[in-house]
Chains A and B, each alone.
Chain A
Amino acid sequence: MSQLWNTFIFRPMLNFLLSLYAVLGRNFGLSIIVFTVLVRLVTLPVQMQQMQSARKSQELQPQLQELQRKYKNDRDKLAEEQMKLYREAGVSPLGCLIPTLIQFPIWIGLYQSIINALPDTPVQLLNLGRHVYQQFPLLSSLAAVDNLSSLIPLNNHFLWLNLARPDPYYVLPLLTVASMWLLQKMMATPSTDPQAQAMSQSMELMMPVMFGFITLQAASGLGIYFVATNVFGIVLQYFVSGWGSLSEVIPQLGGGKSQTKDKKNARK
């Protein structure tokens, strides 16, 4: 299993990241950002499917609430009617889950690649040596590099950061918390189930704090990835569903792109 993972996910991603480093002027911070954006673009269809599924589900909320009120004493009937509603609306209950499942290996591979590309100890360097490709034909013409091994050790300085060490000024953890909170807020969908709603609200707070905690202690290269992927997510989310629940927290934002569109539709 581990060999399959390394061969098809981790090694290709790691070596692609190293190639980007060679092409982008030996700037590893920039390589992480470009790599993150490229990976997010490749998985864009899956992400869009996830967002559209969430949006459709949101549109069904009034009907779901009505069903819950109507069948509050009959859970079997409620489940049956909910499934019927999803089927008629063309919404798959697994619409959110499957895209998330598909993206998980990619996130983990990306995370592993960033960590492994910046060895700081002999053990980590040996691990990198195990996974670096020796032949990379395109690279020699693109970046005048014979093989990826000649890039090692990477230049780990980016802005004020040593990418192999945590940010000494705590800017990156703060950016991670802020960007993830914004994204969580924009993605939040109201739920008819008070328990699920409470859980969702607690996650909106817990996730940014936990990722901020990780960034506080981990190599700042990982923090760069967190911030880059969050910013990409924010932009994508805005174009798909506007500011979402964020506009409830910051009213000056208005409804955002899609809400404006929804209001226009409502006026018609």
Chain B
Amino acid sequence: MKESISRITLLMALLFVAGLVSSCAGAPALPSWPGPLLAGETLYIGSQAGRVFALNPASGAEVWQYPPAGDNTTIGALWGTPAVANETLYIGSENSQLYALDTNTGTQRWTVSTDGRIAGSSVVAEGKVFVGSSDHNVYAWDAQNGRKEWEFPTGNWVWGRPVAADGKVYVGSFDKTMYCLDAENGSQVWAFEAGGAIAGGAAVTDGLVIFGALDNKVYALNADDGTKAWEFSADRWFWARPVVVDGTVYVGSLDQTVYALDAESGARVWSFVTDGMIRAAAAISDGQLYVGSEKGTVYALDATTGQQLWLATLGKSIVTAPAVDGGTVYVNTFGDALYALDAASGAQRWTLTPSKR
């Protein structure tokens, strides 16, 4: 009897070890959460399987994929939304590289490497592509040929999308600091220390730099000198990039709420409670705001009043910003299913899973 009990104990210990082994050893590929981008007549999206797709937005039909169909290699986990300029698509990967692809054919134009994972989106301005890396640096490369223009060291990961405006680049770091850099040479113009890590991107509008931080606050800084204009507090982290339209800041929080704030004062205009954490930025078109929750629900709200117009339950987490072209909202879920929804009603137009292509 005692021996059999000992055997059961040993068996349970083995099961415990097996559980640990399965969750630690031979870890599967990191999960992606790429966001969709509409540029011209094409919809661009990364896939769970580490590939980039160009699709026809009306039908979801594939235009091209990178790496090309038949090539089984991948470019690693993708956590950012692609950026497109001058017929070139830019996307960073968990494998530390930034890829520049021809938007017409999907062929690689050039690639550059950093010393850490690229977890955020890039931005193209003034002939340069700007991106942050988990190696703590902000990089600027020549958008045409990938030649490095400059790099700027911060104190921790840089995951948020940089913003370029008026010859400056604004970028937040996990070292809790928002940096304003000279876009030409990367020199620091000013820096502002927040109370928490800055994981997301910023919005620049009317002389203000607006961003959220993991200390549960949204900050607005004067773009000229980095002094604080106002701050707004919620109950949980702000990771989503704020979006500013017509003097109103729209930003979601992990406290499951979408906030509309007056851009000048930071005063709350309205707030709307959803069913899950809001990790990603909202999309706005024709006075309607579209936002996805981590519980897998897409909400369409009236941007002026915050009133719900419709909701669509997709079931899988939505942690990236939707893209909208006026008539259709494109939403990518964490389960890698891409949905095209009617912007007026939320009715599903088509869905596809890029990973299965």
Stretch of A7-15, A212-220, A259-267 with 4 or more beta carbons under 8 angstroms from chain B? A212-220
Decide: A104 and B24 in contact? CB cutoff 8 A.
no
* Inter-chain contact A152/B196, CB cutoff 8 Å: yes
B79 within 8 A of A: yes
Nearest B-chain residue to A222, judged by Cβ: B24
Can you give 27 A-B contacts (C-beta < 8 A)?
A83-B1, A86-B1, A93-B2, A96-B5, A97-B5, A104-B12, A104-B16, A121-B94, A121-B119, A122-B33, A122-B319, A134-B236, A149-B214, A150-B214, A153-B156, A153-B157, A153-B174, A192-B3, A200-B10, A210-B17, A210-B21, A213-B21, A213-B25, A214-B20, A217-B25, A217-B27, A218-B20
Interface residues of A in 72-106 (CB under 8 A from B): 79, 82-83, 86, 93-94, 96-97, 100-101, 104
* Closest-CB distance, B235 to chain A (whole angstroms): 6
Q: Which 7 A-B pairs have the closest CB atoms?
A: A218-B24, A196-B3, A193-B3, A217-B25, A93-B1, A210-B17, A149-B214
CA distance A102 to B16 in the complex (A): 13
> Could you give, for residues 180-211 of chain B, a 1 whenever the CB lies within 8 Å of some chain A CB and a 0 otherwise?
00000000000000011101000000000000
Distance from B53 Cβ to chain A, minimum over Cβ atoms (Å): 20
B residues 4-57 near A (Cβ < 8 Å) are 5-10, 12-14, 16-17, 19-21, 24-27, 30-31, 33
Is A199 on the interface with B (CB-CB < 8 A)?
yes
Nearest-neighbor residue (CB-CB) of A60 within chain B: B2
- Nearest CB of chain A from residue B56's CB, rounded to whole Å: 29
**CB < 8 Å neighbour of B31 from A101, A123, A149:** A123
Give the tally of cross-chain contacts (CB within 8 A). Answer: 117
Closest residue of chain B to A95, judged by CB?
B5
CB-based nearest A residue for B334: A123
Nearest CB of chain B from residue A10's CB, rounded to whole Å: 14
Q: Is the interface of B mostly helix, strand, loop or mixed?
A: loop
Query: Whole-angstrom distance between the alpha carbons of A125 and B25 in the complex?
Result: 20
Chain B nearest CB, measured from A224 CB (Å): 14
**A218: B residues at CB distance < 8 A:** 20, 24-25
Q: Is the CB of A129 within 8 A of B3?
A: no
A149 touches B215 (CB 8 A): yes
Contact A153 B10 (CB under 8 A): no
Q: Let me know if B279 and A150 touch, CB within 8 A.
A: no
Which B residues lie within 8 Å of A147 (CB)?
Answer: 215-216
Chain A residues within 8 Å of B340, by CB: none
Q: Quick one: which of A213-256 are within 8 Å of B by CB?
A: 213-214, 217-218, 222
B6 touches A214 (CB 8 A): no
Known: A93-B2, A121-B77, A149-B236. 17 other contacts (CB 8 A): A82-B2, A86-B2, A97-B5, A101-B12, A107-B16, A121-B117, A125-B199, A126-B277, A126-B279, A129-B277, A152-B196, A189-B6, A191-B6, A196-B6, A213-B21, A217-B27, A218-B24
Neighbouring B residues of A104 by C-beta, 8 Å: 12, 16
Interface contact A199-B25, CB-CB below 8 Å: no
Q: Please determine whether B6 and A96 come into contact, CB atoms closer than 8 angstroms.
A: yes
Contact yes or no, A150 B195, CB < 8 A: yes
* B7 proximity list for chain A (CB < 8 A): 196, 199
Interface-central residue, A64, A121, A200, by most chain B CB under 10 Å: A121
Q: Which residues of A contact B25 (CB under 8 A)?
A: 213-214, 217-218
Chief secondary structure at chain A's binding surface: helix
Cα of A118 to Cα of B33 in the assembled complex, Å: 20
B224-256 CB mask vs A (1 if < 8 Å, else 0) is 000000000001110100000000000000100
How far is the CB of B6 from the nearest CB of chain A, in Å? 6
Instruction: Tell me the bound Cα distance from A111 to B86 in angstroms.
Output: 49
* Interchain CB contact (< 8 A) of A96 among B9, B174, B279: B9
| Nearest A residue to B175, CB-CB | A153
B residues less than 8 Å from A121 (CB atoms):
30, 77, 79, 94, 117, 119
Q: Are A149 and B2 in contact (CB under 8 A)?
A: no
Say which size band chain A's interface belongs to: 35 or more
Max chain A C-beta neighbours (<10 A), residue from B14, B25, B214, B216: B214
Docked-complex contact B119 and A122, CB < 8 angstroms: yes
A30 at the interface (CB under 8 A from B): no
Distance, CA A64 to CA B2, complexed state (A): 10
Q: Is the CB of B236 within 8 A of A111?
A: no
Q: In the complex, what residues of B have CB within 8 A of residue A123's CB?
A: 30-31, 33
Across the interface, do A122 and B21 meet the contact criterion of CB distance under 8 Å? no
B336: CB under 8 A from chain A? no
A57 part of interface (Cβ distance < 8 Å): yes
CB of B159 within 8 Å of the partner chain: yes
| Residues of A6-60 whose CB lies within 8 A of B | 57
A214 to B23, CA, bound (A): 9
CB neighbours of A96 from chain B (8 A): 5-6, 9
Residues in B with CB closer than 8 Å to A203 are 10, 13-14
The winner among B6, B13, B157, B159 for most chain A CB atoms within 10 A is B6
Chain A residue numbers with a CB within 8 Å of B94 are: 121
Assembled-state Cα–Cα distance A122/B6 (Å):
42
B254–A129 CB distance below 8 A: yes
Partner pick for A134 among B197, B199, B235, CB 8 A cutoff: B235
Query: B281 to nearest A CB, angstroms?
Result: 14
Cross-chain contact of B236 among A108, A129, A150, A153 (Cβ < 8 A): A129
CA distance A171 to B266 in the complex (A): 52
A107 to nearest B CB, angstroms?
7
Whether the Cβ atoms of B33 and A200 lie closer than 8 Å is no
Complex formed: what's the CA distance from A150 to B319 in Å? 22
Residues in A with CB closer than 8 Å to B26 are: 217
B16 CB to nearest A CB, Å: 7
Minimum CB–CB distance from A149 to chain B (whole Å) comes to 5
Docked pose: A93 CA to B21 CA in angstroms: 30
